[in-house]
């Protein structure tokens, strides 16, 4: 990895580095390495302008990753950090809504999943559950199986916090499937 990054830096291949960090952030998030994922996100953010003008997909993935990380780190954040995180989440959701309205097949499930997690954080449990289900269905309908799995995993985590391991197990099985 250090050699690859050094070669990209030496060749001034900023776009490749930006996409690399978007993908690395996603992989680290999935592994639960949130601090490392945040560091990778920040590296990508420094190079983000190189891909922001190249198309929507890297931009959408970058902001989706950021939202997932902010949500994962939110409970441990200070009140000031929580306020800043919430403002960024809302800003990201404004963009996600525009993307979802214009191309629901590619973006609606992401918007719904972040909305579900936001609802969960503020204690709107039933809204969160409905949004998880919508995110799962939309992701499956449009063959974003990795996002459907993530929605199931996050719904399972919700049920674990409600001390409902049997229900959580159903969602975890579906995530694995």
CA angle 18, 22, 28 (to 5 degrees): 135
Mean pLDDT score across all residues of the chain: 92
Residue 150: which of 65, 39, 42 has the closest Cα? Answer: 65
Average pLDDT of span 116-125 = 97
Q: Which two tokens stand for residue 149?
A: 């799995």
**The pLDDT of residue 54:** 53
Q: What is the DSSP letter of 76?
A: G
Residue 129: which of 120, 137, 142 has the closest Cα? Answer: 120
> Binning pLDDT at 50, 70 and 90, where does residue 14 land?
confident
**This prediction's pTM:** 0.91
DSSP 136-159: HHHHHHTT-HHHHHHHHHHHHHHH
**Looking at the predicted structure, is the pLDDT value of residue 26 above 90?**
yes
d(CA 175, CA 166): 14
User: How many CB atoms neighbour CB 127 within 10 A?
Assistant: 15
Average pLDDT of span 43-54 = 70
CA angle 28, 83, 57 (to 5 degrees): 45
Residue 131: which of 147, 117, 148 has the closest Cα? Answer: 117
Residue 92: which of 120, 66, 118, 113 has the closest Cα? Answer: 66
């Amino acid at each position: 990895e250090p050699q690859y990054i050094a070669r990209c830096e030496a060749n001034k291949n900023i776009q490749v580095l930006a996409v690399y960090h978007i993908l690395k952030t996603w992989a680290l998030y999935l592994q639960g390495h949130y601090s490392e994922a945040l560091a990778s996100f920040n590296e990508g953010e420094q190079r983000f302008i190189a891909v922001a003008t190249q198309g929507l997909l890297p931009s959408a993935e970058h902001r989706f990753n950021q939202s997932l990380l902010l949500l994962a780190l939110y409970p441990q954040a200070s009140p000031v950090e929580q306020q800043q995180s919430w403002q960024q989440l809302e800003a990201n959701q404004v963009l996600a809504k525009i993307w979802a309205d214009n191309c629901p097949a590619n973006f609606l499930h992401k918007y719904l999943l972040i909305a579900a997690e936001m609802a969960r954080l503020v204690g709107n449990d039933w809204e969160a559950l409905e949004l998880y289900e919508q995110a799962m269905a939309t992701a499956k309908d449009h063959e974003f199986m990795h996002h459907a799995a993530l929605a199931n995993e996050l719904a399972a985590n919700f049920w674990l916090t409600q001390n409902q391991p049997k229900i959580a197990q159903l969602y975890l099985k579906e995530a694995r499937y």
